[in-house]
Structures are given as C-alpha cells and as structure tokens.
C-alpha cells in the first residue's frame, strides 16, 4: 500500500513536460495550457459582460463582475496615489487570473488527470501510467515566478517612467543612506528589488502546493473519509485561494505605488 500510495502521489505531482526528458529548457505544458485557457475564460466572460452591460436590468453575472471591479478599484484608489491608466486593469487581471488558477485546486484530484489518461491512451496510444497532468498552475513554482518576475519588471518600468532613467539610477545609489555610501545603497536596493518577486512567488506557490498535496493525501483515504475530511478542507480552501489571489494583487499595487514615489 505504501508503494502504491507513493507512486500515486508522485504521479499526481509530476508535470507534463515538453520535451519529455525534462531539463532546464523544458516547458510544463500542463501549467502553460491550463493558465492560457483560464486567461481566455477571464477575457471572454469580462468582455461579454462589458458588451451586454445594462443599467436598467443587470443580471447576476454583471452584478458579480461589478462587485469584483469595484473592490479592485477601491483597493487601487486607497493604495496607489499616482495617476495611471494601467494599474487598475493590471490589478484586476492579477486578482481574477490568480484566483481562477487557484480554483482549479477545488476540482476532484483524479478528474482531469483521468480524462487526460483516457485521451492519451485511446487517441495517442500512450501508456496511461506515463500520461501526466497537474491542473493547478499556481502550484507550479515556474508559473508563480513568471508572474512575480513580470511584476518586478513593472516595478522597474514604473520607476523609470516616474523618475526618468537618471533619477532611477540616482535613487539606486542614494537611498536609503545617502549618496556618500553609494555602493552600499546599491546592494540594499538590489536585495530589496529581488526580494519582492521571490516573496510573491514563494508565498503563492507554497500555499497552493500544500493545498494540492493535502487533497492528494485525502484522495488516498477510504471513500467515507474523503467526504468527511475533504468537504471541510475544500470549504476552508476557498478562503485560502481567495486570500492568496488578494494578497498577490495587493502586494503588486503596494510595490508599484512605492516605485513611483520619491525617496
């Protein structure tokens, strides 16, 4: 049983990669594909609501979308005090997209991997035991680092736009201890800059990976125990996936707000 359980866990924690032998340049095609599909779903739903917007007779979906947009807009207004036409759409995209990625963790553990195995066996003639699919993109450290590195480049871009290239370079060597200790300031600035994407990526990855692993462990229990433990954990996990999406969004707003301020 221990061996079967170990194989089961390893199988569920193995990515579908291209090329299949892995390596540094391998792409986790499951993470990429699921993220892309969720991104298109986000764009489709929000675009459709915008095109069918009604003041007189709003539907439930429109009211729900308006609630999300208003929540994000209020957070941006409270935290980001500079003028930018990009920050609110960026924050909205981050929150909804990360939330959708996290929500994939609420699907039954074996559902999509089993479907992938059936397709791999009957359509492509593959061995089902060698067909892998991980459906939670935010439980892949590559995905969380990709998003957090994008935020880091936005921080640099916002800083240069607000202060100019010369002003940004001057700040790197003059803050926080003054221009007399420029090299020390530069080291601290680089550490601070790199710490932001690392903390963003690892916080989201750690929480979602732990949640995914707990669901896998629950799936190994008898059927009655799966319902007894799985249902409460799923309900609690709804709070986690929402909170992690909110934290990722809020920290991005805070970092970009700090980037445009003079120090």
- Give the tokens for residue 207: 């929480």
142, 150, 174, 203: which one is catalytic? 203
**Bigger pLDDT: 124 or 146?**
146
Domain carrying residue 9:
2-259
The yes-or-no verdict on residue 167 having pLDDT over 60 is yes
Q: How confident is the model at residue 100 (pLDDT cuts 50, 70, 90)?
A: very high
Residues in the chain: 263
Are 153 and 86 in contact by the 8 Å Cβ rule? The answer is no
Tens-digit pLDDT profile for residues 129-154 = 889 999 999 999 999 999 999 999 99
Q: Which residues pair with 18 in a beta bridge?
A: 27
Q: How confident is the model at residue 20 (pLDDT cuts 50, 70, 90)?
A: confident
Mean pLDDT across 67-96: 94
Is residue 203 annotated as a catalytic residue, yes or no? Answer: yes
Average confidence score pLDDT of the chain:
92
Look at phi and psi of residue 26 and say left if phi exceeds 0, alpha if psi is from -120 to 50, else beta: beta
Is residue 199 annotated as a catalytic residue, yes or no? Answer: yes
28, 185, 207, 257: which one is catalytic? 207
Q: Which residues contact 252 (CB under 8 A, 6 or more apart)?
A: 90, 91, 94, 151, 154, 200
Q: Containing H/E element for 172?
A: helix 141-174
Is residue 159 annotated as a catalytic residue, yes or no? Answer: no
The yes-or-no verdict on residue 263 having pLDDT over 70 is no
**pTM, entire model:** 0.93
What is the distance between the terminal CA atoms of the chain, rounded to a whole angstrom? Answer: 60
Tens-digit pLDDT profile for residues 36-72 = 999 999 999 999 999 998 888 888 999 999 999 999 9
The total number of structural domains that make up the chain: 1
Distances (CA, A) of 76 to 48, 83, 246, 249: 24, 11, 12, 10
Q: How confident is the model at residue 2 (pLDDT cuts 50, 70, 90)?
A: very low
Mean pLDDT across 218-239: 91
Question: If you write DSSP's letter for every residue of 178-230 in order, what string do you get?
Answer: -GGGHHHHHHHHHHHHHHHHHHHHHHHHHHHHHHHHHHHHHHTS-HHHHHHHH
The confidence score (pLDDT) of residue 159 equals 94
- Give the tokens for residue 123: 């359509």
Q: How confident is the model at residue 23 (pLDDT cuts 50, 70, 90)?
A: confident
């Amino acid at each position: 049983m221990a061996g079967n359980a170990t194989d089961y866990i390893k199988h569920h924690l193995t990515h579908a990669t291209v090329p299949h032998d892995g390596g540094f340049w391998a792409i986790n095609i499951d993470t990429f594909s699921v993220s892309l599909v969720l991104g298109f779903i986000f764009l489709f739903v929000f675009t459709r609501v915008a095109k069918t917007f009604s003041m007189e007779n709003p539907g439930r979906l429109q009211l729900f979308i308006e609630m999300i947009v208003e929540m994000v807009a209020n957070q941006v207004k409270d935290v980001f005090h500079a003028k930018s036409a990009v920050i609110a759409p960026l924050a909205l995209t981050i929150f909804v997209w990360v939330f959708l990625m996290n929500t994939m963790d609420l699907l039954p553990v074996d559902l999509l991997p089993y479907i992938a195995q059936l397709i791999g066996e009957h359509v492509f003639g593959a061995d089902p035991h060698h067909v892998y699919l991980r459906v939670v993109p935010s439980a892949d450290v590559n995905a969380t680092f990709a998003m957090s590195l994008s935020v880091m480049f936005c921080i640099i871009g916002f800083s240069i736009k607000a202060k100019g290239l010369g002003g940004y370079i001057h700040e790197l060597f003059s803050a926080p201890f003054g221009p007399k200790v420029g090299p020390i300031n530069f080291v601290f600035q680089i550490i601070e800059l790199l710490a932001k994407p690392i903390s963003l990526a690892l916080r989201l990855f750690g929480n979602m990976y732990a949640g995914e692993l707990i669901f896998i462990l629950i799936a190994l229990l008898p059927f009655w125990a799966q319902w007894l433990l799985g249902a409460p954990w799923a309900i609690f996990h709804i709070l986690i996936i929402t909170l992690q999406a909110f934290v990722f969004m809020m920290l991005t707003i805070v970092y970009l707000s700090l980037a445009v301020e003079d120090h």
